[in-house]
A and B are shown apart, each in its own frame.
Chain A
Amino acid sequence: MTKKELMDKNEINRALKRIAHEIIERNKGTENLCLVGIQKGGVLLAKRLASIIESIENRVIDVGMLDITFYRDDIHTSMKQPVVKKTEIPCSIDDKTVVLVDDVLFTGRSIRAAMDALIDFGRPAMIQLAVLIDRGHRQLPIRPDFVGKNIPTAFDEHIEVELKEDGKDDRVLLIKSKKRKKNIK
């Protein structure tokens, strides 16, 4: 197994700041805006994005978290036992612009599940997607609105986003395993 650092603390910070500005610009402010992080990597990033946006706009933003385990399409084929995490949508999402936040965009299946999960909570006016890393290999017609960094990868590589809230240094790693392992996120 080999590890390669793709982004460090400063690069992650800059990417998040840029995405925050882009979200504000695209939506012409933050009225009607709600950020929803996908468990687990997206939740911390959504909180960080919200606090950056709040410091720019001087206005509190609603931040939610969404667990997509019940909506996944690989639950009967994957070998792992599911660990379900908290879902918490703090506001009505009806007629809001909801920005889904995730750490890594890969096949797009998590985002499909997240959209299905979200729609059970209401009818947003619009759903947008912000990701820190887009690594390609889409299996569904899904495209991000805001991207921290595009990183071309091989299908069997793995990307790990480590954040200081988890007790690690902020960084993004590319992991190549020697064994060929099918790794569908």
Chain B
Amino acid sequence: MLRSKDLLGIKDLTPEEILYILDTASNFKDVLKRDIKKVPPLRGKTMVSLFFEPSTRTRTSFSLAAKRLSADVVNFSVSTSSVVKGESLQDTALTIQSLGADFVVIRHSASGVPYYLSRILDISVINAGDGANEHPTQALLDLFTIQSHKKRIKGLTVAIIGDIAHSRVAKSNIYGLTKLGANVRVIAPPTLMPVEIEKLGIEVYHSVEEGIKDADVVMTLRLQLERQAKGFLPSLEEYFNLYGLTPERLRLAKKDAIVMHPGPMNRGVEISSEVADGPQSVILEQVTNGIAVRMAVLYLLGVRK
């Protein structure tokens, strides 16, 4: 049972709600394997995506998910919309609601925008990434991918390497993984590690070699090149030398550890091509699972009333 009309973050979900979404997603994954990859439950519903930041996979994934559920999809492109004429966020959102949308999927560079919209709109608001706050569907698809490989989440050791400070993916995953009982380690240079992050119930490492040891899951994050202008790092080469996921470092994790990356990848910065394309990588599977998980979210929010 989902309590809220919106999906704003993993922080707001109970462990039961997370597992309910994952269970439902596994049925949608079966649907995606059929010849006819479409089911009718959201016939007559409309999803509008409103992206104030660039995205290819998340937006495409949401669109496909909605279409597989027989909903109509409108992609609202901010650069060609009235936003550039100075329309306020609130007016844009209310306009979309009045156009008859049932779901608005929003990405914004400012944390809290989805929450703000959820308060003024009656329709379901789904957070597709807000600032450095949360990216809940990415965490759900990561949890789904981990569960389908490891058959459980509880008790696993998950190492998250990279720009923890700017990463909404890391944040959502930390909430989700700890709620489901995994041991989470975060690994980053001190400049990219938020202060007091250990208060979320996780372990903090500054050395990859130490943090990755005996991990069941190794998650690398994209180094957000667009946010590095402030001089957090001496150079990208140095970052790769100290924090890049290489085959040598991966060997320190458990033999059957899986390697994950939310994409898009900077090969040779946070991950080497050998690892990204190697046998332990489940990166492309994450993309496929993303559709199933987003179908589950849309479906469960769509049938709530």
Contact = CB atoms under 8 A, between A and B. Distances in A.
Contact of A81 (B2, B31, B36): B2
Given A70-B39, A75-B41, A81-B300, A120 B34 contact: yes
B229 interface: no
Contacts of A86: 27, 30
Given A71-B39, A87-B27, A120-B34, 18 more contacts: A69-B41, A70-B31, A70-B40, A70-B41, A71-B40, A75-B303, A76-B305, A81-B300, A81-B303, A82-B299, A82-B300, A85-B27, A86-B30, A87-B30, A116-B40, A120-B38, A120-B39, A121-B34
B24 interface: yes
A72 B38 CA distance: 14
Contacts of B303: 75-76, 81-82
Interface string B33-54: 0111011110000000000000
Nearest to A117: B39
B102 to A, nearest CB: 11
B1 interface: yes
A24 to B, nearest CB: 30
Interface of B, secondary structure class, is loop
Contacts of B35: 121
Find the residue from A76, A84, A85, A87 having the highest chain B CB count within 10 A: A84
B50 to A, nearest CB: 24
A84 B39 contact: no
Q: Say what secondary structure dominates the interface of chain A.
A: loop
A102 interface: no
Interface of B: 1-2, 20, 23-24, 27, 30-31, 34-36, 38-41, 299-300, 303-305
A67 interface: yes
Contacts of B300: 81-82
B27 A67 contact: yes
Pairs A-B, 7 closest by C-beta atoms: A70-B39, A84-B27, A120-B36, A81-B1, A70-B41, A75-B303, A84-B24
A90 to B, nearest CB: 13
Contacts of B2: 81
A179 to B, nearest CB: 22
Interface in A62-109: 67, 69-72, 75-76, 81-82, 84-87
A41 B39 CA distance: 22
A120 B304 CA distance: 25
Nearest to B304: A81
Contacts of A70: 31, 39-41, 299
Nearest to A80: B1
